[in-house]
């Protein structure tokens, strides 16, 4: 993404940042997560920080993870393990980003997206999505109890 911004800037091409604010995304995720999902997430974060998985991540592993089927499998696993996290981090953001793309006033645009969002955003933009969100509600953070 940084490279795309640098190239666009050097060519005087307008840039539109279309993703939702990360603070809103994280607050929405935390508010929707069950206690079990929070425990799973904490375990995954701590495990990743301290290498509990025992798996080394090298350049080859990263390239392998970029493949579409691997990304799809990771998203499917996230959906199974922490469905509310997947809903907020992937589904809601797909709809939010697609809505922002639709509302860009230009004949041609170039979008730089994470691999985990390609399929969902494509389905939304082509009318094949079965889910519809109220976009204004996706910009709101839940009230604290």
Q: For the segment 84-114, what is each residue's pLDDT rounded down to a tens digit?
A: 999 999 999 999 999 999 999 888 888 999 8
Residues 6 or more apart whose CB falls under 8 angstroms from that of 66 comprise 115
Joined together, the tokens standing for residue 125 give: 């933009």
Q: How many helices (H) and strands (E) does the chain have?
A: 8, 0
pLDDT tens-digit map of 132-142: 788 899 999 87
Domain range list for the chain: 2-139
Question: C-alpha dihedral over 126, 76, 55, 43, to 10 degrees?
Answer: 120
Looking at the whole model, is its pTM more than 0.95?
Answer: no
């Amino acid at each position: 993404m940084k490279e795309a911004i640098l190239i666009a800037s050097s060519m005087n091409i307008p840039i539109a940042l279309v993703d939702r604010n990360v603070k809103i995304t994280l607050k929405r995720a935390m508010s929707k997560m069950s206690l079990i999902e929070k425990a799973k997430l904490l375990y995954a974060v701590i495990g990743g920080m301290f290498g509990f998985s025992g798996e080394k991540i090298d350049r080859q592993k990263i390239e392998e993870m970029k493949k579409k089927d691997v990304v799809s499998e990771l998203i499917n696993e996230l959906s199974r393990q922490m469905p509310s996290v997947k809903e907020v981090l992937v589904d809601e953001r797909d709809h939010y980003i697609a809505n922002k793309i639709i509302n860009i006033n230009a004949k041609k645009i170039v979008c730089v997206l994470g691999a985990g969002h390609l399929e969902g955003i494509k389905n939304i933009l082509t009318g094949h999505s079965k889910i519809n969100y109220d976009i204004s509600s996706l910009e709101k953070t839940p009230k604290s109890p």
